[in-house]
Chains A and B, each alone.
Chain A
Amino acid sequence: MLKTRDMELNMGPQHPSTHGVLRLVLTLDGETIVDCKPVIGYLHRGTEKLCETRNYYKNVPFTDRTDYLAAPNNNLGYVETVEKIGGYEVSERALYVRTAICELSRIASHLIWLGTHALDIGAQTMLMWTIREREVILDFFEAALGDRLTTTAFRPGGLRRDLPDGWVKAVLGFCKTFPDRVDEYEALLTKNRIWIDRTVGVGVISAEDAIDMGLSGPLLRASGVPYDIRKVMPYAAYDKVDFEIATSNDCDSYARYEVRLKEMRESVKIVEQCLERLPEGPISGKVPRMLKIEAGAEAYHVIESPRGELGYYIIADGSDTPYKCKIRAPSFVNLQAITQMVKGLLVADVVTVIGSIDIVLGDVDR
């Protein structure tokens, strides 16, 4: 018998498909994965600590830069937490606008996920197609929020500024055409033999394990757990709109693909409902110019970001800056499932699994 030896392969931090600066230390037997250790921290910027040095208003831009593919959702998580501990009232109109913008951002984020995930599996065309639609959404952000990526969309109490003229009409027009685009993506992938071969049964995680690890978002729902914070603990205007939770029982990468595509379609419905029922009124509730929250006030508030359960835990100390701002990042928690998911699979499956977990390294490292 020939003596063989496992090979250690460093995948990343500079690698085309680790979605940023993730480093995986793979132990390989041939091409089969024996062990996988994720090494993170290459994008650590100390966001949580930085949040202690700026006042409550000025912290919003930091949250843009954690999960940079879905900045509005991060803004919302932070802003709502501040509102919760400070007891500030939010205007009705702001709630609807926030919901619509966050859902647009969810679509944009899922589009990037679909494009890069497909690219990792070798279907390059998908990325260009999804970027095309994401571009439209980013233009909407630019018009309404003044920025495309780091939106700093909201402020405690409501919005920074009202929607520009014609914005609602333009977005509703997009909502009309977008489901057809999703059909187009599906035409290229859903029944594609190779796509099915590459994703079905890859990166399986059972509902039990998923709950034990604290996974959330599409990852959890693809394992058959219909847990969506938008339904379970509604925030913003989610209790006033009608939508379904996308779930699947297959627990694999293909299930996550199906769940996210369904979510995009549902998000379109939410955006439509929000904009059609958009109430008139002030864009912001009555909030002081300088926020000072009494010492001892603390709150943990979660929202459903495109990647899962995004939580902010803020403790106030009576000054205008938080005493502590802890971010429960969905990517960070979801990433830990990778070791279990890839064991026994092949090198090629690692990129499939990374893609299907949908991590953003800014969110993992913060």
Chain B
Amino acid sequence: MNNTPLSDFVVIPLILILAILLIFPLLVGYIVYVERKVLAFIQSRLGPMRVGPWGLLQPIADAVKLLTKEDIAPRTADVFIFKIAPIILLVVGLTAMAFLPMGEGFTAFGYDVSLSIVDVNVGVLALLAVMSLSTYSIVLGGWASNSKYPLLGGLRSAAQMVSYEVALAFTVLATLMIAGTLSLSGIIEAQRQSGLWYVFVQPVGFVLFIIAMVAETNRLPFDLPEAESELVAGYFTEYSGFRWSFFMLGEYAAMVVMSGLLVTLYLGGWMRPFPNVELLGFLDLIPGFTWFVLKVGFFIYFFIWIRGTYPRYRYDQLMGLGWKVFIPLAIANLFATGLALLIIDSVAG
């Protein structure tokens, strides 16, 4: 191997970052396409059909439309903050993606390439910390618009994200205790060694995580910050054109990242199912990246599915649910996990 510090820390990450930056907007375009199609099928419609075969070029048409629109800031808005708010959201989403281990390492041109761009030993913490920053974008965007609906949307969002982050953190903590590491690739490795996905060890945590994840990414039934029937479009009411599309990109980035985190924490990450069963060894032929995409894809489908079938919670109900149900449950789950670990340890001696 001819890896050097230069290649490990500069060249390879740069290439991967570039790849994400180039591929991701397109990917989001097609997630939106899939969302529209799936929703359409749930609602007995066809969805986009006009641009290209089965409407396959629709995302590109949308992107062109959004990018060529005039960049408008309301006269009363705080223009500087108004303009940077969507950028924060997008940057946060893309940064968080860098922490996700998306597949096993491989060798290209004699260099070892790891598919997680930065594999820090406090990956979970770093990822959650970065994701928390997205609240700023929404609050600032809502505030700087200097308009009433966005303001309400921004306030709701701040309250919602803060409360659900607490539940989320407690839930994740229980998993970390079992894995004994904060590193995301470490958690995957721990699941391989125990031969068990953590969803079977932490079923309550898994469910809590899913719900908190939906709330954290502001999707139905928890999409209160942008509740279109009450707040018009919530915090991005005043946005249009590519700044609006940044909010969309950010939202979908958050969906991908949270699904990725879920898959990593509970479903063995990029590992194939039953990584220790020799009989299923032929599954190794499929690269880990594919498994990762499949698992994440399922949860993105899950997001859409929920959106197609559920009404929206009310703000106070959402907060009540967060503080009175999820946080106590997450803490109880944490205690139970700790207790179980203690007992297992003392029995094993």
Contact = CB atoms under 8 A, between A and B. Distances in A.
A123 interface: yes
B107 interface: no
Given A15-B232, A16-B229, A17-B229, A346 B44 contact: no
Contacts of B313: 194, 197-198
Contact of A121 (B39, B156, B312, B315): B312
A125 B230 contact: no
B65 interface: no
Given A124-B39, A125-B42, A197 B230 contact: no
B221 A346 contact: no
Nearest to A202: B314
Given A128-B43, A128-B45, A347-B152, A120 B229 contact: yes
Contacts of B223: 122
Interface stretch (B19-27, B114-122, B294-302, B303-311): B303-311
Given A124-B43, A128-B44, A194 B311 contact: yes
Nearest to A10: B148
Given A7-B148, A122-B221, A351-B230, A192 B311 contact: yes
Contacts of B39: 124-125
A122 B315 contact: no
A348 B230 contact: yes
- B-side binding surface: helix, strand, loop or mixed? helix
Interface string A110-147: 00000000111111110111001000000000000000
Nearest to A196: B311
Interface string A1-31: 0000001010000011100000000000001
Contact of B311 (A15, A17, A195): A195
B217 to A, nearest CB: 16
Given A129-B43, A192-B310, A31 B229 contact: no
Given A31-B152, A124-B43, A198-B311, A350 B221 contact: no
B317 A122 contact: no
B229 A119 contact: yes
B227 A122 contact: yes
A240 B307 CA distance: 45
A97 B190 CA distance: 73
Contact of B228 (A16, A123, A128): A16
B146 to A, nearest CB: 13
A123 B307 CA distance: 8
Contacts of A125: 39, 42-43, 308-309
B278 interface: no
Interface string B183-221: 000000000000000000000000000000000000011
Contacts of B43: 124-125, 127-129
Interface in A186-241: 188-189, 192, 194-195, 197-198
Given A128-B43, A347-B152, A123 B310 contact: yes
A128 B168 CA distance: 34
A197 B311 CA distance: 10
Contacts of A7: 148
A98 B246 CA distance: 55
B315 A31 contact: yes
B313 to A, nearest CB: 6
A16 B232 contact: yes
A132 B44 contact: yes
Interface string B139-165: 000000000110010001000000000
A349 interface: yes
Contacts of B224: 348
A347 B232 CA distance: 12
Interface residues of A, number: 31
B231 interface: yes
A316 to B, nearest CB: 46
Nearest to B40: A128
Contacts, number: 81
B70 interface: no
B345 interface: no
A198 B318 CA distance: 11
Given A124-B39, A125-B42, A128-B45, A348 B227 contact: yes
The CB with the most chain B CB atoms within 10 A, among A192, A194, A350, is that of A194
Contacts of A346: 314-316
A347 B313 CA distance: 12
Interface in A71-130: 118-125, 127-129
Counting chain B CB atoms within 10 Å of each CB, the highest count among A122, A128, A350 belongs to A122
A347 B316 CA distance: 11
B317 A197 contact: yes
A279 B315 CA distance: 56
A125 B310 CA distance: 9
Given A120-B229, A124-B43, A128-B45, A194 B148 contact: no
A348 B309 contact: no
Nearest to A9: B148
A341 to B, nearest CB: 15
Interface in A329-366: 346-351
Contacts of B231: 347
Contact of A351 (B220, B221, B229): B229
B227 to A, nearest CB: 7
A103 to B, nearest CB: 25
Interface centre among A31, A124, A194 (most CB of B within 10 A): A124
A198 B229 CA distance: 14
A197 to B, nearest CB: 5
Given A118-B311, A194-B310, A194-B312, A350 B42 contact: no
A32 to B, nearest CB: 9
Contacts of B228: 16
A111 to B, nearest CB: 14
Contacts of A123: 309-312
Nearest to A121: B311
Given A31-B152, A123-B311, A349-B314, 9 more contacts: A16-B232, A119-B229, A124-B39, A127-B43, A189-B311, A194-B312, A346-B316, A348-B312, A348-B315
Interface of B: 39, 42-45, 148-149, 152, 156, 220-221, 223-224, 227-232, 307-317
17 contacts: A9-B148, A17-B229, A31-B156, A118-B311, A120-B229, A122-B223, A122-B229, A122-B311, A124-B307, A124-B308, A132-B44, A192-B311, A194-B313, A198-B314, A346-B316, A350-B230, A351-B230
A-B CB proximity, top 4 nearest: A122-B312, A128-B43, A123-B311, A17-B229
